[in-house]
Homo-oligomer: A and B are copies of this chain.
Amino acid sequence: MEYQYSNRTNSMKPSIIREILKQMGDPQLISFAGGNPSAEAFPVEEIRRISEELLREDPVGALQYSITEGDPALRQVGEAYLNQQYPIKKEADDLIITSGSQQVMDFLTKLLCNEGDVVATEDPAFLGALNSFRSFGATLVGVQMEEDGVNIAALEAVFTATPKPKLFYTIPNFQNPTGVTTSLAKRKAIYALAKKHGVLILEDNPYGELRIAGQAIAPIKALDQDGLVVYAASLSKILAPGLRVAFCVGPKQLLTKMVVAKQSNDVHTNVWAQRVCQRFLTQCDMQQHLVRLQAIYREKAEYMMAQIDEQLGTQVQYLHPQGGMFLWLTLPAGVNMQTFVKKCLAKKLALVPGNAFFVDDAAPCQSVRVNFSTPSRQQIQAGVAIMAQVLAEMNS
């Protein structure tokens, strides 16, 4: 039979990263391509203990159907957790549980975008988000990233263009893939522009707690007095991604509709996982856990930067990220980036070609994304050595 797909299906793209990762059965392959938390970062003992406890105390509750909005106790403790440092959830907001924050991208696009509607995004940006927008036939318009966040003049040009974007997508902390942290001044400027032009902001903050340098900066959501910001906070990077649990905070009216979208998608998020998260946030010292994670990632990031400085020297350029999981390496002008990535893969080092993260992924690009959270010290050393070797070959 010949299948007749919807128009939007033609604009769907599989994630190049997840395609790369699927090939990775080879145990000799070093991956700088993924974005997985370090295995040592998982609070295994606590999750094991909590799981046993909750399956002993209320197994039926953990196994039965639940409500779409999420486990009431988790929503409550999630609100307290998110509002600790900054006022994220206001009176006019609601907080719901989603199966990872990827669902927030998907549902929000479904709610807002007809085919051809514009979504503005940092450019480059998180590929998974771009693919969610594309999967509903949205037209992506990129706004150039600078070292302290998007170019504000370019953002205003996009906000005043016709058609006006339905939303603007941003990761203000340690952006994926660039590692850029948006300055407070730019966060304020983004909010002011969104308010002036009536554009919704989707603020994605998966890495915010993984700060390894510098001072915390208020989320854009903390500035929101106008119901302009939908805020996604994932537990994937700070507890465990296999759980698929995230918080979405946003204007009540919007979230009521998001609940309907979720109802007809997965009904509700896995209950065991919600309760594990609820008990972890209630019983465990999250601050202490985060200090441990920050130490792990600081050490990995610094080791990778030291290795790059030592082995690649001034051949490559990169920004020192204040957190997150990635470095964004820019290769020398004469080096073909795609060839570099292929040659590294032939020597068993996986990297993601930087063009994958751009709205126009066919445009020329000199950068690669390098993950430092997953590989071991030994793998970091060996992987950077492969990059040095390939660069030497390509320069000779």
A contact set with B: CB distance below 8 Å: 1-9, 12-15, 18, 21-22, 34, 36-37, 39, 42, 44, 47-48, 51-52, 55-56, 59-60, 62-68, 99-100, 102-103, 105-106, 110-114, 117, 128, 131-132, 134-136, 166, 198, 200, 226-228, 236, 240-244, 251, 253-254, 257, 259-261, 263-273
Contact = CB atoms under 8 A, between A and B. Distances in A.
A113 B36 CA distance: 34
A66 to B, nearest CB: 6
A39 B64 CA distance: 7
The quantity of this chain's copies bound in the complex is 2
Nearest to A22: B67
A121 B232 CA distance: 36
Nearest to A63: B240
Contact of A242 (B65, B106, B113, B226): B65
A1 B102 contact: no
Max chain B CB contacts within 10 Å: which of A1, A227, A263, A264?
Answer: A264
A1 to B, nearest CB: 5
A267 to B, nearest CB: 5
A261 B51 contact: no
Given A3-B200, A242-B65, A243-B272, A106 B265 contact: yes
A270 B267 contact: no
A192 to B, nearest CB: 14
A107 to B, nearest CB: 8
A266 B103 contact: yes
Contacts of A22: 67
A60 B44 contact: yes
B64 A260 contact: no
A271 to B, nearest CB: 4
Nearest to A42: B63
Contacts of A56: 48
The 5 A-B pairs at the shortest CB distance, nearest first, are namely: A63-B240, A242-B271, A270-B270, A99-B266, A132-B264
Contact of A67 (B21, B102, B254, B257): B21
A279 to B, nearest CB: 14
A198 B360 CA distance: 37
19 contacts: A3-B200, A6-B110, A8-B110, A9-B111, A12-B264, A15-B264, A22-B67, A36-B65, A42-B60, A48-B52, A65-B242, A99-B99, A99-B266, A106-B264, A128-B263, A128-B267, A132-B265, A135-B260, A244-B267
